[in-house]
Amino acid sequence: MITRFAPSPTGGLHKGHAFSALTAWTAARAAEGRFLLRIEDTDFTRCRPEHEEAILDDLSWLGLDWETPIRRQSDHRAEYAAALEDLRDRGLLYRCFRTRKELMTTAGMAPHGDDPVDAQAFAHGPHDPAEEAERLARGEAFAWRLSLDRAHQVLGGFGALTWVEEIHRPGLHTARPERLGDMVLGRKDIGAGYVLAAVIDDAAQGVTHVIRGEDLVEVTSVQRVLQALLGLPTPVYRHHPLILGPDGLRLAKRDRSATLADMRASGVGAADLRAELGF
């Protein structure tokens, strides 16, 4: 078994991150397998070296160890760019100039909605060629979206795309990417994003079991499509329950959830936190 924990250095880790890291680490150790740490820093506009240092410090404090060298996505941009180019050349991507706010407004939904993928289903496909040329000439920012229509044609449908899930509704799952719509795989400013990069990384690192929060269950369908399009292996997935805050909502950096650094400063010990989280 080869597992991984893949945080983004955009802020401090919280209890939810600790639970996910401990779950993956414990599974690997129990199976006498390997535990990998990956830094997902594709978005250089938000990632900071000091946050990465804090992540390593927090994980060491929790008692985790991992193989070195650590894979950092910022060192592999050329690989992701090559994958994007391959998908573009095969007509599987299109430029989208619509912002999340525009998509949500068009759909009659709140632009500040909590679902990270709810706006994707309203992308509505490529722009009119004349409009696209005009907006490109103005230098407007755009995203590269995966065309599910084209992917469906290339793959002959999605019914044969399956994966094994061991925690969240255990069993064999069939990819149903339609709910998410045409997801963003890259942006003009930063290149490839998480959805594509994670698929490439997992294959490159030989990850056999992807252990992560159940909030990413739906994304797995799109990543399964990408694995098929790029000829990459499909790992087993374990989507574990989320750690919720006092308000019953999942913990999130953007909500300024209490960080592990905050807890440590208040006197919480690593053993206490591990016990609280069931380890």
For 142-252, where are the alpha helices, taking DSSP H only?
Answer: 148-155, 194-204, 217-230
Q: How confident is the model at residue 238 (pLDDT cuts 50, 70, 90)?
A: very high
* 114 shares a domain with 174: yes
**What domain range includes position 49?**
1-75+244-279
pLDDT in tens, 193-204: 989 999 999 999
| Position 153 in a domain | yes
Sole residue written with tokens 């938000």? 46
pLDDT in tens, 35-56: 999 999 988 888 899 999 999 9
* Per-residue pLDDT at 253: 59
**Chain mean pLDDT for the chain:** 89
Number of domains in the chain: 2
* 273 shares a domain with 188: no
pLDDT of 276 > 70? The answer is: yes
Counting DSSP H helices and E strands in the chain, the numbers are: 10, 11
What CATH number does residue 46 fall under? 3.40.50.620
Q: How confident is the model at residue 186 (pLDDT cuts 50, 70, 90)?
A: very high
| Position 202 in a domain | no
How far, CA to CA in Å, does 197 sit from each of 37, 40, 41, 183, 187?
15, 8, 10, 13, 13
pLDDT in tens, 2-25: 999 999 999 999 999 999 999 999
* 144 shares a domain with 33: no
Confidence (pTM): 0.89
pLDDT of 251 > 80? The answer is: no
Rg (CA), the chain: 19
Question: Could you list the active site residues?
Answer: 253
Instruction: Give the span between the Cα atoms of 57 and 4, in whole angstroms.
Output: 17
* 80 shares a domain with 191: yes
* Per-residue pLDDT at 113: 43
Q: Of the candidates 134, 163, 197, which is a domain's last residue?
A: 197
* Per-residue pLDDT at 256: 57
